[in-house]
Amino acid sequence: MLRPGTVQLRASLAWLWAGMLLFGVLIYAASFSHSLVAQEGEAASAGLVLSVDGPIGPATMDYLVRGIERAEAEQARIVVIEMDTPGGLMESMRLIIREILRSPVPVVTYVTPAGARAASAGTYILYASHIAAMAPSTHLGSATPVQMGGMPGSPDPAAEPGGTDGENDANEDREPRRGGSAMERKVLEDSVAYIRGLAERHDRNADWAEQAVREAVNLGATEALERNVIDVVAPSLDDLLLQIDGRSVRMAEGERTLHTANLTLTRVDPNWRTRLLSVITNPNIAYFLMLIGFYGIIFELSNPGSLYPGVIGGICLILALFSFQVLTVNYAGLALILLGLLLIVAEAFLPSFGILGIGGIVAFVIGSVILMDGSHQPVSLPLIGGMAALFAGLLLWTVTRVLSLRRRPAVSGTDRLINETGVALNDFSREGQNYCGYIRAGGERWKAVSTLPVQAGQTVTIARVEGLTLHLEPTMQARVPER
């Protein structure tokens, strides 16, 4: 039966939780109503500006998809994507293009500022956009798919006949690249069909798009406009809006005429979610999270009940595995890293005088170097070198510690009695060729055997221990017992 105080406490906690829940609902309702008021107050001519500066990845995909969805919810007239990218992940790129193609709001991709590029995945996104624009002194191209996460020794597509080694680039009559293996041909032909479909949807140069995929060619802004690869070359965003005003674009529901003169644009910066995804999907951060997670779990297993290493290690390891999933890492590199870490840990528990540790460091370094092989974001070599140096220092400390412990005398067990002294408790009697009796050593009474006679009170030295019998030194110094 519950005491009245307990009942009152539980009732108070229940009311507290109910109040917090009600407060949360009110806050959500207020924010929702505020967003509705903001949407109603937005001018119908508003547009959104999104910025992409860096590789295309899960964070970029989340940011662009949410931006386009916001433009749809606010009934914006246009979405402008300012782009400067070296490329990125195929899966993230396809999800972005899928959102662009289904969007009821026209999407303008604008390669800016001067010196920017829309390479690889950026070229596909540019072709998929309703308006493709570039600033002067920018370029696009190099859309050949590259293998990420392949095994070491995989054939390099650029090294096959008809590839893009520097000398053959000048030969425009060479055979188009078809791929060296069946998998390469499948990926290459799929990419060609994909970009040709995007080009034909918006009446752009499909032949050059295919060439960009097969031969990794590039074009500057002016030449791209002349060859009908893009629609506009504009030095500024305002000039871009003036040039595309009155143009017709092909949307999912049909043709639409753009009205962008004097359009009010709102710049949308990445929110905390996008920034978090961008941080944890950075290969260097994911690499470091993996190391923290691995050693956190090891420390928790070696010291059960510590809790902090296990909790922190588990969270970091899950975040690292999520990052590796979306980054499509080289699994051979990941396996080498894990093997190296296990060997380094094994050196501490199974001392091999450095053999396991050195092998672990070598496996760790090789795996780290090839972990993001083929990616636009490889793991930083100074970070790899720093972690390898840290593990080498830990290994050196472990080996020296083990050697120093081996030189120290035993502090427990019967081995600690070796070379210790004791005092005879009685005169040893002769049994065969030896003399047997009892001594006191280490505060305990032991049976002892000696090849020479021993008198009571005599100091003796222990030579070795066999079972529960102590063997004494052949020569001993007599000590006159105190009377």
**Rounded (10°) CA dihedral 167, 169, 170, 174:** 100
Kindly state whether residues 442 and 320 are assigned to the same domain: no
Tell me the three-class secondary structure of the chain, residue by residue.
Answer: CCCHHHHHHHHHHHHHHHHHHHHHHHHHHHHHHHHHHHHHHCCCCCEEEEEEECCECHHHHHHHHHHHHHHHHCCCCEEEEEEEECCECHHHHHHHHHHHHHCCCCEEEEECCCCCEEECHHHHHHHHCCEEEECCCCEEECCCCCCCCCCCCCCCHHHCCCCCCCCHHHCCCCCCCCCCCHHHHHHHHHHHHHHHHHHHHCCCCHHHHHHHHHHCCEEEHHHHHHCCCCCEECCCHHHHHHHHCCCEEEECCEEEECCCCCCCEEECCCCHHHHHHHHHCCHHHHHHHHHHHHHHHHHHHHCCCCCHHHHHHHHHHHHHHHHHHHHCCCHHHHHHHHHHHHHHHHHHHCCCCCHHHHHHHHHHHHHHHHCCCCCCCCCCHHHHHHHHHHHHHHHHHHHHHHHHHHHCCCCCCHHHHCCCEEEECCCCEEECCEEEEEEEECCEEEEEEECCCCCCCCEEEEEEEECCEEEECCCCCCCCCCC
Kindly state whether residues 243 and 370 are assigned to the same domain: no
Most confident of 269-273, 324-328, 458-462: 458-462
pLDDT above 60 for 91? yes
Joined tokens for residue 36: 């509705």
Q: Is there a cis peptide before residue 86, judged by omega within 30 degrees of 0?
A: no
How much is the average pLDDT of 183-193? 86
Kindly state whether residues 87 and 200 are assigned to the same domain: yes
Kindly state whether residues 310 and 422 are assigned to the same domain: no
Domain count, the chain: 3
Reported as a single tens digit per residue, the pLDDT across 415-450 is: 667 778 888 888 888 888 888 999 988 778 888 998
Reported as a single tens digit per residue, the pLDDT across 21-72 is: 444 544 444 444 444 334 444 444 489 999 999 888 888 998 999 999 999 9
Kindly state whether residues 98 and 216 are assigned to the same domain: yes
Residue 169 lies in a domain: no
Domain boundary among 225, 252, 273: 273
pTM value > 0.85:
no
Residue 479 lies in a domain: no
How much is the average pLDDT of 298-314? 82
Residue 222 lies in a domain: yes
Residue 41 or residue 370, greater confidence: 370
Residue 239 or residue 482, greater confidence: 239
Kindly state whether residues 100 and 200 are assigned to the same domain: yes
Kindly state whether residues 330 and 252 are assigned to the same domain: no
Residue 309 lies in a domain: yes
List, edge to edge, every strand of the sheet that includes 232-233. 232-233, 131-134, 107-111, 78-84, 47-53, 265-267
d(CA 164, CA 393): 44
Kindly state whether residues 145 and 108 are assigned to the same domain: yes
Q: What is the mean pLDDT of the chain?
A: 78
Residue 368 lies in a domain: yes
d(CA 36, CA 164): 54
Domain boundary among 385, 407, 429: 407
Residue 174 lies in a domain: no
**In degrees rounded to 5, what are phi and psi of residue 163?**
-75, -175
Joined tokens for residue 50: 């999104």
pLDDT above 90 for 184? no
Residue 480 or residue 308, greater confidence: 308
Residue 354 or residue 15, greater confidence: 354
Q: Domain range holding 135?
A: 34-153+181-273
Reported as a single tens digit per residue, the pLDDT across 129-155 is: 999 999 999 999 998 887 544 434 444
Kindly state whether residues 227 and 147 are assigned to the same domain: yes
Joined tokens for residue 35: 């967003």
> Given the DSSP bridges, would you call strands 131-134 and 107-111 parallel, antiparallel or unpaired?
parallel
Kindly state whether residues 113 and 56 are assigned to the same domain: yes
Q: How far is CA 36 from the centre of its chain?
A: 39
Q: Sign of torsion, CA 114 158 183 186?
A: positive
Residue 10 or residue 455, greater confidence: 455
pLDDT confidence of residue 26: 45
pLDDT confidence of residue 271: 78
Domain boundary among 407, 423, 455: 407
Residue 29 lies in a domain: no
Residue 302 lies in a domain: yes
How much is the average pLDDT of 452-466? 85
pLDDT confidence of residue 180: 61
User: 205: pLDDT confidence band, cut at 50, 70 and 90?
Assistant: very high
Kindly state whether residues 301 and 360 are assigned to the same domain: yes
Q: What is the CATH number of the domain that holds 445?
A: 2.40.50.140
Q: What is the CATH number of the domain that holds 244?
A: 3.90.226.10
Joined tokens for residue 85: 């990218």
Kindly state whether residues 147 and 240 are assigned to the same domain: yes
d(CA 68, CA 62): 10
pLDDT confidence of residue 402: 64
pLDDT above 80 for 483? no
